[in-house]
Amino acid sequence: MAISAFIVDVPAAEPRVADLRARFDATAALGVPAHVTVLVPFMDPDKITPAVLAEAQRALDTICAFDFSLDRVGRFPETAYLAPEPAAPFVEMTMALWRRFPEFPPYGGEHAGVIAHLTAAHGSAANAEAAAALLEERLRAQGPVQARCASVTLIENSSGVWKRMQVFPLRDAGR
């Protein structure tokens, strides 16, 4: 089934997580970069029209670009991740898009809340535990990842590989 998703690319995190994602996160092999998920799943890419893209931009126009750091390791049962600080703007983006597109709740409605995170390992508790230990070591040795969120990217997978579909710039705080 074809699918799309809104993400925030975090290229600054690639040096810390690329090897872990290659080993422990199947989406890396499908073209998904290091990212913080904003909204997944979103609609079938064939149904994304210019009007849908315009609505998504209007929703995201409520959010200003911001700096953040990835400075803490977190865990879900089968996932290890880096947690962004501040997390609130990521959650605000998710909620803004969900308000515009209520038929697409975050994570298909599987979870009660939204926890912003950059996945380094997903799929097994043992792999997540191993990845979390390595992430902790890397944070101690190298400090937090510093990044800026200035846009949100809509990616799609209609062919078995994820591809960029549209980039939505966030407004500058001074505008």
Note the pLDDT tens digit of each residue in 28-85.
999 999 999 999 999 999 999 999 999 999 999 999 999 999 999 999 999 999 999 9
CA 58 to chain centre: 19
Minimal CA–CA distance to 118: which of 97, 95, 139, 140?
A: 139
Q: Taking 70 as the threshold, does the pLDDT of residue 175 lie above it?
A: no
| pTM of structure | 0.94
Q: Which of 143, 157, 48 is nearest to 97 (CA)?
A: 48
Q: How far apart, in whole angstroms, are the C-alpha atoms of residue 77 and residue 122?
A: 9
Both tokens assigned to 134: 């390595």
Cα(127)–Cα(101) distance, integer angstroms: 34
Kindly report, residue by residue over 103-130, the tens digit of the pLDDT: 999 988 787 789 999 999 999 999 999 9
